Every structure is written in C-alpha cells, then in structure tokens.
Amino acid sequence: QVQLVESGGGLVQPGGSLRLSCVASGSTFSSYTMRWYRQGPGKERELVAGIDTGGGTNYADSGKGRFTISRDNAKNTVYLQMNSLKPEDTAVYYCRAARVIGIWNVYWGQGTQVTVSS
C-alpha cells in the first residue's frame, strides 16, 4: 500500500509559477511510474506529465515547454514545476503511482487545488 500526499497548490496570477510536490509513503517509491493528472471545473481528469522509473518523462501538449516533472527517489517525492501559468491551468492536480507486479498497483493522492487568476 502506498499513500500519496500532494502539496504546493494555491492561488497564483497568470504568468506565475508553482511547484507541486507529492510525497509517497513506503520504501518502494523508485519502482513506481509517477504521473500528475488534473481535473478542471466541469472537465474530465487528464494527464499532465509522467516520469518513469528510469527518469524518462512525457508531457501533455498543454504543458510542454512550461511544466517540468522530476523525482527524488531518496525523498520519495515527485515534483511538478509549473511556469507561465494560465487561467486554463486552474484545476485540482492529482499525483498517481503505478507499477505492475503480476497485476496493476495504482494509487492516487487526494489532490491539491491550483487556481490561476488575477
């Protein structure tokens, strides 16, 4: 069992920056692919960025060039650096951990609110 706790959300003006953090419990963090998702008002949850166990990253088009995902396995933490924020980035951001050992093991955090507004 893995517990994920996100933090770092808040209110920011357009063009501003935030860094989200997601801390995982347990000693097997490095074996999980980590992803950030978001769900805006009235929208479906969507993938924002992912990082695999080897450090390979991928991004949704909406965040390319503005968002950076990274991980620190020693701290059991995955980060999402978000720059040049836009009002359309307003959403609840969720952290997800996943790995396959025979079956899928998938865990979600509780989410952190990001509001981009002047």
Residue-wise pLDDT for 57-93, tens only, equals 999 999 999 999 999 999 999 999 999 999 999 999 9
pLDDT at 27 over 80: no
Q: Give yes or no for residue 52 having a pLDDT over 90.
A: yes
Cβ partners under 8 Å of residue 34, min gap 6: 22, 50, 51, 69, 71, 78, 95, 96, 97
pLDDT of residue 68: 98
Residue with tokens 């929208």: 43
The confidence band for 100, taking pLDDT boundaries of 50, 70 and 90, is: very high
Residue 39 tokens read as 């769900």
- pLDDT of residue 44 exceeding 90, the answer is yes
pLDDT, tens digit, for every residue of 101-116? 999 999 999 999 999 9
pLDDT at 26: 80
Q: Which of 88, 105, 3 is nearest to 46 (CA)?
A: 88
- Average pLDDT score, the chain: 96
